[in-house]
Amino acid sequence: MPRRQVAPTAAIRFDVVDGPEATATVTGAVAAIRGRVRTLATVRSIAGDPPQVEIELEVEGVTEDALVAALDGLSEIRAIHRTRALGTVFGKRIIVVGGGAQVAQVALGAVSEADRHNLRGERISVDTIPLVGEADIAAAVRAVADLPRARLLVLAGSIMGGDISAAAEELRAVGIPIIALNMVGSITDHVDLVVSDPVQAGTMAVMAVGETATCVLARQRGRRY
Amino acid sequence: MPRRQVAPTAAIRFDVVDGPEATATVTGAVAAIRGRVRTLATVRSIAGDPPQVEIELEVEGVTEDALVAALDGLSEIRAIHRTRALGTVFGKRIIVVGGGAQVAQVALGAVSEADRHNLRGERISVDTIPLVGEADIAAAVRAVADLPRARLLVLAGSIMGGDISAAAEELRAVGIPIIALNMVGSITDHVDLVVSDPVQAGTMAVMAVGETATCVLARQRGRRY
């Protein structure tokens, strides 16, 4: 699936009176200045009368000044903080899912390699969750498709198959590649690359999404190490 | 800052023709069925004519069937997939920021402890980014306030202060506590807890947000280990 280049993005965080109309009002004001809402995420709820929510908003195609001006006059909005688009701070995300022992070792390799890339100006994050059981792991694999900026999944465990393998194919179909540890089960037939050593799997995952080594997966797809 | 209980949330992912009106149309349709948009995040751009974007949408206060029905008739929407709210899959997030060597060791402790919590039905993720330099680390600390479901920050490094300490106070002011490794610099005076061993720091971070040990920070605030 080809990706378009993303334009610079204005980002703010604001408090707004909670209610069904809140986000429609905000997105209407953004549309009026011809901005494209890329993210609108509730980050906190604030109890009170009336209750408020704190929302992070990223808009493509407008300046931060124009965005603040468009929202500043709305009566529902109580406070606006200027911030930065999350992609410029946390960048591309490697997601690691599986058993705790293996997830920790993959994270060790991935964080070490991401450190080297980030020192040179890239932004790569390593996000992990230890989980057990076919249903929960399969749900997490499918949910990676819903995560903003997720670029690659590492499956770190000792046995995976069944619905996890089905979920892996669904995720690859939306354009997110998968590296799996060499393990028991059918999963190793449904991923882009199989790596036995978890530290190396984490390292390769970062190399695959880094700007300096984008060819890793294209050349290695289907191989086992 | 008190938190309100979050109601069950319907979640879908859909392709929509990209343009300034796209999200306003969607949020208007959601408001019409009295739903509250909690997340609207662009997860992928799809090149083509017209270009489309894939958006993950979470709405509180409506059923998934009602949400699908409300959006299914809109001409701009090309495909709808039912999915799950990210909070039910990835849960609370511990964020770890700092130098690669220390971030990896904090992640080891945090992932191991999260594994134990998640085995008992909780959902705790450990999300990391290795970074260098006062400006970039301070920006990441501030950006944690913009991350959905972020519950605690661990600062893992050997020297931090200056604007990072200012950013730490800003983050704590919005209700996100911070654990720091014992290190050089003023940061240790601007966090909730200081821990010398990185593996233990990661473990304590998860204990502090877990359902089974919520008292950790309240009882230990300001102490050093």
Cβ count near B163 (within 10 Å): 15
| A142 SS3 class | helix
Pairing of β B124-130 and β B92-98: parallel
Measured between beta carbons, which residues in chain B are less than 8 angstroms from residue A90?
129, 140, 143, 147
Residue among B91, B89, B225 nearest B152 (CA): B91
Indicate the pTM of the whole model: 0.94
* Contact status, residue B180 vs residue B160, Cβ threshold 8 Å: yes
What residues does A128 pair with on adjacent strands? A96, B126
Give me the tens of pLDDT residue by residue for chain A, a chain 225 residues long. 344 445 689 999 999 999 889 999 999 999 999 999 999 999 999 988 999 999 999 999 999 999 999 999 899 998 999 999 999 999 999 999 999 999 999 999 999 999 999 999 999 999 999 999 999 999 999 999 999 999 999 999 999 999 999 999 999 999 999 999 999 999 999 999 999 999 999 999 999 999 876 666 777 788 888
At which residue do the structure tokens 């662009």 appear? Answer: B42
Interatomic CA distance for residues B142 and B153, integer angstroms: 11
Q: Measured at the alpha carbon of residue B198, what is the angle toward residues B197 and B204, in degrees to the nearest 5? A: 90
- Amino acid B124: pLDDT: 98
Is 50 exceeded by the pLDDT of residue B95? yes
Which residues make beta-bridge pairs with B39?
A: A41, B58
Q: Contact A140/B90, CB-based, under 8 Å?
A: yes
**Range with lowest mean pLDDT among A24-33, A68-77, B127-136, B212-221:** B212-221
Q: Nearest CA of chain A to the CA of B115: how many Å? A: 5
Strand partners of residue B93: B125, B150
pLDDT value for A6? 52
Instruction: Quote the pLDDT of residue A215.
Output: 63
Residues in chain A with CB shorter than 8 Å from the CB of B99 are 115
SS3 B7: coil
Residue B16 has pLDDT above 50, yes or no: yes
Amino acid at A213: A
Asked if B148 lies within 8 A of A104 by C-beta distance, the reply is no
Residues B109, B112, B114, B120: what is their CA dihedral angle, to the nearest 10 degrees? -150
pLDDT of residue B7: 67
Q: Radius of gyration over alpha carbons of chain A, in Å?
A: 20
pLDDT for B1 equals: 38
A217 and A193 Cβ atoms separated by less than 8 Å: yes
The token pair that represents B117 in the structure block: 């919590």
Cross-strand partners of B166 = none
Quickly count: other Cβ atoms within 10 Å of residue A220's Cβ. Answer: 17
Name residues whose C-beta falls within 8 Å of residue B39's C-beta, 6 or more positions apart in sequence. Answer: A40, A41, A42, B56, B57, B58, B85, B86, B148
Nearest in space to B173 (alpha carbons), one of A18, A84, A79: A79
| Residue of B182, B212, B215 whose CA lies nearest to B197 | B182
The DSSP bridge partners found for residue B58 are: B11, B39
CB contact under 8 A, A139 and B47: no
User: Do A35 and B20 lie within an 8 Å CB cutoff?
Assistant: yes
What is the nearest CA distance from A222 to chain B, expressed in angstroms?
25
Helices in B58-162 by DSSP H: which ranges?
Answer: 64-72, 86-90, 100-119, 134-143
A-chain residue closest to B34, CA distance: A20
**Smallest CA–CA distance from A85 into chain B, residue:** B143
Nearest to A21 among B31, B40, B103 (CB): B31
Q: Dihedrals φ, ψ of A44, to 5°?
A: -155, 150
Contacts of B121 (CB under 8 A, 6+ apart): none
State yes or no: cis peptide before A2, omega within 30 of 0.
no
Q: Is the pLDDT of residue B2 over 70?
A: no
Rounded CA gap, A212 and A28, in Å? Answer: 40
Mean pLDDT of B118-146: 97
Is residue B3 predicted with pLDDT exceeding 50?
A: no
Taking CB atoms and an 8 Å limit, are B111 and A119 in contact across chains? no
Mutation target vs A (from B128, B149, B174; most A CBs, 10 A cutoff): B128
Is residue B215 scored above 70 in pLDDT? no
What pLDDT is recorded for position B138? Answer: 98
